[in-house]
Amino acid sequence: MSDFRVYAIRYARRDALRGEHFHGHDATGTEPHPTSYYVWLAVSDRHTVLIDTGISRSRAETVAGLDYLASPAERLAELGVPAESVGHVVLTHLHYDHTGTAHEFTGARYVLQRAELDYWTGPWASRITRERWLLNDDDLARLQEAGKDGRVTLVDGDAEVVPGLSVHLVGGHTAGMQVVRVRTARGHVVLASDASHFYENLEDDRPFPILHSMTGMYAAFDRVKELADGPHLVVAGHDPEVLDRFPLLRPDIAVIATGE
């Protein structure tokens, strides 16, 4: 059974402030703290799995200060991976910056937690102003269409997507937030996505301020640490530092693990 090659692929970045990224007010809240936007790719001899799909170009134009470097599909093309070769798209959660180009992966099966879909189609999300902004209605509608075509796998908890790659419900940031664990030659990597936007969230035990459950956020930190074969194999969701902690294949593309 072959191990996966794993890449963190940055497609956008934005200047931001520390206060946007750590729960609770403190004196450092107005200091600069840039954010990066990624998708992640796991490739083995048999499977091509994309984890999250970024922001669509049209939505990107509405996000103040966002520097949209390339679309996720364009980045995959740089790696020689055509969009139609992606067999599975794992959606860690349904915020707009993770679902925006899912429809471009026409040959893919979508994998998400049932709790996540239930939340966004349930009675609460539509009443909460911030949630209406965080969800892209068109992305949800297209996902529901794909569901009717039998292209969506809804998971309850933990599940293997393909041999060596599994998803794990952690909650916290959103109702059905999941992380991805990938077997590599270096050990098991965990793609934490927004279970830990920045390494500092996880390492200093300081939740991100946008959250569904505060205690769930802490439990997610614990679960991420438990699932990874060492802290050096955790990949944070929005941290520019990912591109410093792991070697670069080319600008904006870090190699989390090679195949051998």
Interface contacts to Zn ion, rule CB under 5 A: 97, 194
State in angstroms the smallest separation of the CB of 209 from Zn ion.
13
Q: 15, 65 in Cβ contact below 8 A?
A: yes
Cβ closest to Zn ion, residue 44 vs residue 178: 178
State in angstroms the smallest separation of the CB of 93 from Zn ion.
8
Print the SS3 string covering 72-136.
HHHHHHHCCCCHHHCCEEECCCCCHHHHCCHHHCCCCEEEEEHHHHHHHHCCCHHHCHHHHHHCC
Q: Which residue has the tokens 């999250």?
A: 52
Question: Amino acid letter at 157?
Answer: G
Cβ closest to Zn ion, residue 18 vs residue 186: 18
Cβ closest to Zn ion, residue 104 vs residue 194: 194
Cβ closest to Zn ion, residue 73 vs residue 134: 134
Q: 205, 224 in Cβ contact below 8 A?
A: no
Q: Which residue has the tokens 């109702």?
A: 175
Instruction: Please give the Cα distance from 223 to 207 (Å, whole number).
Output: 14
Cβ closest to Zn ion, residue 36 vs residue 48: 36
State in angstroms the smallest separation of the CB of 134 from Zn ion.
9
